[in-house]
Homo-oligomer: A and B are copies of this chain.
Amino acid sequence: MFAPPVNRLITELARLPGVGQRTAQRLAFHILRVPDDQALPLADAIREVKETVGECEVCFNLATEATCRICQDERREAHVICVVEEPGDVIPVERTNEFRGRYHVLGGALSPMDGVDPEDLHVSELLSRVVGNGVRELVIATNATTTGEATALYLADAVRERAPEVAVTRLASGLPVGSDLEYADEITLGRALRSRVAL
C-alpha cells in the first residue's frame, strides 16, 4: 500500500518495544512530514550510539570508553556493589542520591523457562569482582518480579558460598511511598506486613 521506503521505515519502527503497526505508521508519517533537519538527527543519533556506546569492561554499564563514568569515579565507594538487571536500571538508583558505591549490570534476569541461565548473564564476572577484592556489601537491586527475585536468591547463594564475608542485601519490598492502602495489591501489602519495622 505504501512506497517501499515507507514500508521499510514502518517495519523498522514496529520492531521497537511497545510500538505496534498503527503507532509505527503514525511515527513514519510524522517523520515524513517534518523537515529533514528534524528527522535526520534521529537517524544520526541511532548510528552514533551504536558506534560509540559499548559496555564497561568492569561493570557492564553503558560506556563510551573502556570503563564507564561511575567506575572511573574515584570518589565512588569500591566496597559496595549494587547489582541491577539492565543498564537502564542504574539511572533510577542514581536518581535517589542514596547510593555512593559501584554497580554491576547483569544483562538480564535468570529465567530458565526462557533459556536464560547464569552463564547468559554477567554472573561469573560479578563473583570475580566480589571474591577477595575487599567488597563488603552486595546490594541486589534486580526487579521485584518473579525472575528478578529468583536472580536475587541465586546470587545470594552463590556469593555466600564463595565469599561468606560479603553482606548480601536486597531492596526492601513494601508500599510505595504516598500510596493508599486501599489500592495496594494483596501481595505487596502482605510483604509490607511481614517486613514491618519498629517505630
A residues lining the B interface (CB < 8 Å):
1-6, 8-9, 11-13, 15-18, 23, 25-33, 36, 38-50, 52-53, 62-64, 69, 86-88, 91, 94-95
On chain B, the residues within 8 Å of A17 by CB distance are 26-27, 30
| Bound form: Cα–Cα A58–B199 in Å | 75
Q: Which of A18, A28, A32, A95 has most B Cβ within 10 Å?
A: A32
On chain B, the residues within 8 Å of A32 by CB distance are 49-50, 53, 62, 87
Q: Which residue of B lies closest to A41 (CB)?
A: B12
On chain B, the residues within 8 Å of A39 by CB distance are 46, 50
| Bound form: Cα–Cα A49–B86 in Å | 33
| Bound form: Cα–Cα A187–B63 in Å | 55
Asked if A42 and B30 make an inter-chain contact with CB atoms under 8 angstroms apart, the answer reads no
| Bound form: Cα–Cα A29–B44 in Å | 16
